[in-house]
Amino acid sequence: MKRMPCPAVLYVVVLLTVTSASEAAADDGSGPFGVTVTAAPTAESARVGPLFSKDGHFCTASVVHSPRRDLLVTAAHCLDDGDGGLVFEPGYRNGRAPHGVWRIVRRYLPDGWAKGQHEDSDVGFAA
């Protein structure tokens, strides 16, 4: 015999969906699973920014706590630009880079990515 969900559980799910949809509509978002919000700049968000290549492609990268304060983490495939043209702009917002432009001088890729682009190894670090 198939067991039906408890009415209280169904009520909570419906309530959460309606509340999320209302929030999204108020913020001009696209709905409970596609809501986008513009976050206010903070010290934490300044650690995140785009990693730009010379050809105009970009990925998101984040500053990692390190002794020299110059280490980033991103996807390994974002570090594949072999000509040394990668730059990171922490805190980038509305066309401005308030914390400057960091030129990538060294990449650290796991062997799984460097030797075979194995998708489980698609993470890398850069200085």
Give the model's pLDDT for residue 2: 55
What is the layout of strands, in order, in the sheet containing 124-126?
Answer: 102-103, 87-88, 48-52, 58-64, 71-74, 124-126, 107-108
The pLDDT value recorded for residue 20 is 42
**79 to each of 9, 76, 105, how far by Cα in Å?**
46, 5, 11
Class of domain 45-126: mainly beta
Looking at every residue in the chain, the average pLDDT score rounds to 77
Range in 6-20, 62-76, 85-99 the model is least confident about: 6-20
Q: Where are the chain's structural domains?
A: 1-37, 45-126
Confidence of residue 30 (pLDDT cuts 50, 70, 90): low
Q: What is the mean pLDDT of residues 116-122?
A: 91
Residues 75-117: tens digit of each pLDDT: 999 998 666 689 999 999 888 999 999 999 999 999 999 999 8
